[in-house]
Structure 1
Amino acid sequence: MRDHLEEALNHRDDGYGRVQRNLRPELPKRFYKEATALPADGGYTVALDNRPTLTPGNRTPVRVPSEDIAAIMAGEWGSQGERIDAETMPMVRLVNSAIESGETSIPALRAEVVKYAASDLLLYRAEHPQELVAEQEQHWDAALVRIARHFEVSFQPTVGILYQEQPATTLEKLDHSLEGAGLLEITALVSITSLTGSGILAIALRHDLLDADSVWNSAHVDEDFQARLWGVDEEAALRRRKRRTEFDAAVRLVEAMRR
């Protein structure tokens, strides 16, 4: 799935994409001097010149239960220059997205993680070359073994891209492993799942079965192999750095919600 997104990004400046880029609206000017994290209604908010922030879509007040997360968001607001670029504010965007989705979206978000796990990156292996096969086994087998033992489940990896159904009991237990995840945490887990192409890795991260770097490296086994084989593409490297920033923000949100 991530490969298809990469291909689309590779051609984002072709034809219509180039026209769309030129038609993008100008970034809004910064309208505040100071951004601060403040207590609010049993949690915390970010205030811009002492005015609490609202989500950009439905104008809902931004409240988070973690002072650390509020401080990160305030830092993102505070680091803006003359114009506000939302692309440089991953935590703000992630929290706003969660708040605007609302508590009723939790079941659907949880189902999205399990849906990825049912056709997970880690379960579809290369047939060749042998070097790639070995690297996939090294990184992915370790993750599968850890989560299989922890939740007493089994997986059915396959070679190639033809769909391989996973045991129903495995998916049920993976779904059960997400119980208790509130709106902010499950939104962050969906982001991690999307960025890595793996619900299994997101679940492993939530349960401390793998650390953030291990998850990230496992998600990029194929990409790293191709880079060593053909060299690093600068645009792809830039996109990867941006994705890592998004990933790190989501990881910090998951960690903060578990404290």
Structure 2
Amino acid sequence: MRRFWTDVTIDAVEAGFAIRLDGKPVRLPGGAPLAVPHQALASAIAGEWRAANATIIPDDLPLTQLAGAAIEQIAPDPDALRRNLLAYGSTDLLCYRAETPAALAALQHEKWQPWLDWANNRLGARLVTTRGIIAVTQSDAALRCLAGALASQDEWALAGLGVAVPALGSLVLGLATIAGAMTPETAHDLARLDEIWQEATWGADAEAQARRNGIARDIASAAMFVTLTRS
């Protein structure tokens, strides 16, 4: 898409705050005007459109895309996304530890276990760990607690989690991030702990680093989105 507007404004409407380009509403993929109930989020979305270059790609408008997902895809059936996210909790990255080398397994325990403890203490979800690729079955009680944590998230928070959790491979890290218990950068580093370990041994790969940078931006945008809906 090419930039066709010069002026970006925010108008108060019945649904909250609408973003307009030269007086015309930004529209969702389904055709409805984009309006959000959070003024801080509306201001940030407007900022995306003001900062857009002559040629625009979707990555230039992450908050706009997340708002559209929350309104059109998630709000009509939030439980569908909650079920998908809960599946990440049943196979959470933090629960799968290396068998060898011992130093990596020790590092995983040092960096990951505190966040499993956080899930237990904060959410009541006691998740158990395993080594290697052997699957571990989490208790019904733990999964009910994670389901309860997801049930308390509205469509706006679910939109952020819908990006962050798959990117991290961990429901625990996603929930901790949107709760403000850790930064998006820390969550990303923890999720890529094995890759960072390998690179320390074998050296960095430019293509892998570029991919990680993109994932880091997605996680940061998702966390910012949720924060803006709580301002």
Q: TM-score scaled to structure 2, two decimals?
A: 0.93
Alpha-carbon shift at residue 206 of structure 1 (Å)? 3.4
Post-superposition Cα deviations, 1:128-154, rounded to whole Å, max 9, x if no partner, equal 112211221111101001111223332
Q: CA separation of 1:127/1:80 partners in 2, compared to 1, >3 Å: closer, same or farther?
A: same
Matched residue type, 2:128 = Q
**What SS is found at the alignment partner of 1:72?**
helix
User: Does the aligned pair in 2 maintain the 1:126–1:133 contact within 8 Å?
Assistant: yes
- 1-structure distance, mates of 2:61, 2:97: 35
**What SS is found at the alignment partner of 1:104?**
coil
Matched residue count:
231
Mark the runs of 5 or more structure 1 residues left unpaired by the alignment. Answer: 1-27
Equivalent residue number for residue 138 of structure 1: 110
Runs (4 or more) in structure 1 with deviation over 4 Å come to none
- 2-structure distance, mates of 1:229, 1:45: 51
Alpha-carbon shift at residue 36 of structure 1 (Å)? 2.7
Equivalent residue number for residue 186 of structure 1: 158
User: Does the aligned pair in 2 maintain the 1:110–1:178 contact within 8 Å?
Assistant: yes
Post-superposition Cα deviations, 1:150-208, rounded to whole Å, max 9, x if no partner, equal 23332110001122110001000111112332212111112110111111111222334
- Name which of 97, 106, 117 aligns with 2:78: 106
User: Does the aligned pair in 1 maintain the 2:185–2:216 contact within 8 Å?
Assistant: no
Q: C-alpha root-mean-square deviation of aligned residues, in Å? A: 1.7
User: Does the aligned pair in 1 maintain the 2:95–2:129 contact within 8 Å?
Assistant: yes
Q: CA separation of 1:243/1:165 partners in 2, compared to 1, >3 Å: closer, same or farther?
A: same
User: Does the aligned pair in 1 maintain the 2:40–2:228 contact within 8 Å?
Assistant: yes
- 1-structure distance, mates of 2:11, 2:94: 42
- Of all paired residues, the percent bearing the same amino acid is 28
- 1-structure distance, mates of 2:42, 2:199: 37
Alpha-carbon shift at residue 119 of structure 1 (Å)? 0.4
- Name which of 211, 229, 232 aligns with 2:201: 229
Alpha-carbon shift at residue 34 of structure 1 (Å)? 2.0
Alpha-carbon shift at residue 115 of structure 1 (Å)? 0.8
Deviates further, 118-127 or 152-161: 152-161
Matched residue type, 1:30 = R
**What SS is found at the alignment partner of 2:35?**
coil
Matched residue type, 1:197 = G
**What SS is found at the alignment partner of 1:46?**
strand
Q: TM-score scaled to structure 1, two decimals?
A: 0.83
- Name which of 207, 210, 215 aligns with 2:179: 207
User: Does the aligned pair in 2 maintain the 1:60–1:100 contact within 8 Å?
Assistant: no
- 1-structure distance, mates of 2:192, 2:108: 10
Alpha-carbon shift at residue 103 of structure 1 (Å)? 1.7
Q: CA separation of 1:61/1:102 partners in 2, compared to 1, >3 Å: closer, same or farther?
A: farther
